[in-house]
Structure 1
Amino acid sequence: MSLITSKSYNVHYYEVDAKKRALISTIMNYLMDICSVQSDSRGVGVEYLMANNKGWILTQWNIKISRYPLYDENLKVSTRANSFYKYYAYRTNYIEDSLGKLIVDGRSIWLLVDSTKRRPVKVSNDMYAAYNISKDENERFIHSSFKPLESWDTEKVFDIRYSDIDTNQHVNNVKYVSWIIESIPLDIALNYEMREITVVYKKETYYGHRIKVHTKIEKSQTGYICTHDIINEDGEDLTLAITYWE
């Protein structure tokens, strides 16, 4: 059985919105951070990857939020590397409140690449050993797929800043979701809560580039369903996503 790693987090004032709820970027940063904590603790973190000319690229997130963490709330954030398959890693993340109730459930898919050639490489035996994963464990999530938008209701334009870049020298994956949220009309953002998001990362982008976020908004029985397409200056799809608001 693969390992579970947990850590306590306290929601800071600068991590919440106008209603003192943790931002989706805050939640994602917690989920990303616990992944790094686990990898570092098992000796296969950033230093190991750099020394072996490898890197993990996030290809997909699915996050379901039953309740948003609140300002000054203490949380338990956990992760488990479920399985590997060829070049891919499948990981589960979740957040519990102080009573042990599950409030955020996340699943992610990662691709291991040669950081110089930018080509996929197979997960090595030392990775299996580090995460205590057996090659018989084959739990895999469905790879979601969305079509690019042909029409949209809103458009936002962003210039990529130095602060948007991560250690892999491309835009941090959480930034894409922050841009998506900015494309949501204010009345929806203020009066509804995003309960689920699925993000598919298609192509990287870098400092100095300009991107556009297109969002199509549809009314549902309980709120809104929004589909999103982030494109670069050449019209190439960078990220596709769908968000559910109630």
Structure 2
Amino acid sequence: MSYSFESRIRFSEVGEDKKLTLNGLINYFQDCSTFHSEAAGVGMDHLMQKQRTWVLSAWQIAVERYPRLCEKIRISTWPYEFKRFFGNRNFVMEDEKGSRIAYANTLWTFLDLETGMPALVDEEQIRAYPLEEKLAMEYAPRKIRLPKGYREFESFTVKPHHLDSNHHVNNGQYIQMAQEYLPADFCVSQMRAEYKKQAVLGDEIIPRIHEEKGVYTVSLDSPLADTYAVIELK
């Protein structure tokens, strides 16, 4: 079963060009999945009582155009597969005429909060989210290949504004971190993100960037050589 809501692009969501930012787009998609969970009766508080949560493991976003300030939009989402610990979910953003302007594929992991380990997706979740058809789009691999050779930048520390209600860095914040190292005039039309390790308050993050033929790969690493997230932007 799909879930949709309508909105209008706000001044607080646009960049200098008066268009929705990539981070604003991600926030709309995140909000849509949250609204879907609440409407289905299996929202955050319900899952917390069961010591379960859904954690985003990978994004793939394609942007055909960024909507402008005050433009009316419709955001939709639906799950299309459950498999063991995982769930796949599509997202679409449409303009007022119903034309698709952005879309995404995501992979989520069902997590046991007591053990910190993946948990089998239970029947309650499966019943709450009737599956829909997989969106017609070009699906990229979940794992992002790390190119050889990179430029390392100065490290920084995770601050409170990076965190969400799960007390770790929100997935959208990693994308914002990666964008800091793009040229000022770079417009992202495709983005992939692979999340590997949760960063929490006070963690040190070392950004390592590789550019090849207009594609930027950003690895956000710990001083111990663990990788928090890998983001590919083109």
Whether TM-score is above 0.5 comes out as yes
* CA contact 2:78–2:131 (8 Å) conserved in 1: no
* CA contact 2:146–2:217 (8 Å) conserved in 1: no
Corresponding residue for 2:194?
200
The reply on whether 1:45 has 2:39 as its aligned counterpart is no
* CA contact 1:156–1:183 (8 Å) conserved in 2: no
Q: Could you tell me how far apart the structure 1 residues matched to 2:228 and 2:147 are?
A: 12
Give the AA of the match of 1:193. C
Q: Secondary structure of 1:120's partner?
A: coil
Q: Secondary structure of 1:163's partner?
A: helix
Taking every aligned residue pair, what percent have the same amino acid on both sides? Answer: 23
The one of 53, 62, 65 equivalent to 1:64 is: 62
Q: Could you tell me how far apart the structure 2 residues matched to 1:143 and 1:65 are?
A: 18
Q: What displacement does 1:151 show? A: 2.2
Q: RMSD of the alignment, in Å?
A: 1.8
Give the AA of the match of 1:12. R
In the superposition, relative to structure 1, how do residues 34 and 163 fare at CA in structure 2: closer, same or farther (>3 Å)? same
Gaps of 5+ in 1: none
Corresponding residue for 2:227?
237
Gaps of 5+ in 2: none
Aligned length in residues: 231
Q: Could you tell me how far apart the structure 2 residues matched to 1:235 and 1:173 are?
A: 20
Q: Secondary structure of 1:194's partner?
A: coil
Equivalent positions of 1:82-93 (< 5 A) are 82-93=80-91
Give the AA of the match of 2:60. N
The runs of at least 4 consecutive aligned structure 1 residues that moved more than 6 Å come to none
Q: Deviations over 1:93-140 (max 9, x none)?
A: 010001110000101000001011011111111111111249xx899x
Q: Could you tell me how far apart the structure 1 residues matched to 2:60 and 2:45 are?
A: 27
In the superposition, relative to structure 1, how do residues 169 and 94 fare at CA in structure 2: closer, same or farther (>3 Å)? same
Q: What displacement does 1:243 show? A: 1.0
In the superposition, relative to structure 1, how do residues 29 and 163 fare at CA in structure 2: closer, same or farther (>3 Å)? same
The one of 96, 99, 104 equivalent to 2:97 is: 99
Q: Could you tell me how far apart the structure 2 residues matched to 1:31 and 1:122 are?
A: 24
Q: Secondary structure of 1:119's partner?
A: coil
Give the AA of the match of 2:233. T
* CA contact 1:148–1:237 (8 Å) conserved in 2: no
TM (normalized to structure 1)?
0.89
Q: Secondary structure of 1:169's partner?
A: coil
TM (normalized to structure 2)?
0.93
Give the AA of the match of 1:242. E
Q: Could you tell me how far apart the structure 2 residues matched to 1:197 and 1:170 are?
A: 22
Equivalent positions of 1:204-215 (< 5 A) are 204-215=198-209
Q: What displacement does 1:212 show? A: 1.7
**Which deviates further from its counterpart, 198-207 or 229-238?**
229-238
* CA contact 2:20–2:68 (8 Å) conserved in 1: yes
Corresponding residue for 1:162?
160
In the superposition, relative to structure 1, how do residues 68 and 154 fare at CA in structure 2: closer, same or farther (>3 Å)? farther
